[in-house]
């Protein structure tokens, strides 16, 4: 699949402001880039830790994916995002290996990345996001 690094780890939180304060203490750095992604029904912020980021996700709708996750499992790690160079090609490869895709085509995610999710039922219970940074040349 040619993953270059862990792009970010997504953490589902009930209250973004409270969690920002907590993670600023834990990580010793400030968050940036608060964004609402309306089609995903979430509000997000990031913390940069070297090449990787921590993404806090607060649901804007109890029926959205993060709202349903928190209702079922409570707050905690929600997904792991892997950076790949060519997302369209990677999705074709993954599909051939009979791993279930949530997104068959890349779509726009936070920070302008092209993203797609793999279904946790076919990845050992872990929601995996694949991302491509369109500003990095292939």
Determine contact, residues 90/84, Cβ cutoff 8 Å. Answer: yes
Characterize the bridge pairing of strands 32-37 and 76-84. unpaired
Q: Where are the alpha helices (DSSP H) in 49-86?
A: 65-73
- x/- mask, ligand CMX, residues 79-98, rule CB under 6 A, reads x-------------------
Does the footprint of ligand CMX cover residue 37 (CB under 6 A)? yes
**Region of 16-24, 72-80, 82-90, 92-100 interacting with ligand CMX (CB under 6 A):** 72-80
Distance between the two ends of the chain, CA-based, in angstroms?
15
Q: Minimum distance from CB of 12 to ligand CMX (Å)?
A: 7
- x/- mask, ligand CMX, residues 97-126, rule CB under 6 A, reads -----x------xx------x-xx----x-
Does the footprint of ligand CMX cover residue 34 (CB under 6 A)? no
Q: Where are the alpha helices (DSSP H) in the chain?
A: 16-27, 65-73, 87-96
Does the footprint of ligand CMX cover residue 65 (CB under 6 A)? yes
Place of tokens 């880039």: 33
Rg (CA), the chain: 15
Q: Tell me which residues touch ligand CMX (CB under 6 A).
A: 10, 37, 40, 42, 55, 57, 65-66, 68-69, 72, 78-79, 102, 109-110, 117, 119-120, 125, 127
């Amino acid at each position: 699949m040619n993953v270059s690094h862990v792009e970010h780890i997504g953490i589902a939180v009930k209250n973004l402001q409270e969690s920002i304060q907590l993670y600023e203490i834990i990580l010793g750095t400030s968050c940036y880039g608060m964004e609402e992604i309306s089609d995903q029904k979430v509000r997000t912020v990031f913390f940069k830790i070297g090449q990787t980021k921590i993404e806090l996700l607060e649901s804007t709708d109890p029926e959205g994916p993060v709202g349903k996750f928190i209702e079922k499992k409570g707050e905690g790690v929600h997904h792991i995002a892997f950076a790949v160079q060519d997302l369209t090609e990677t999705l074709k490869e993954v599909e051939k290996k009979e791993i279930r895709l949530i997104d068959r085509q890349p779509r726009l995610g936070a920070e302008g990345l092209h993203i797609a999710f793999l279904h946790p039922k076919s990845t050992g219970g872990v929601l995996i996001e694949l991302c491509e940074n369109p500003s990095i040349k292939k």
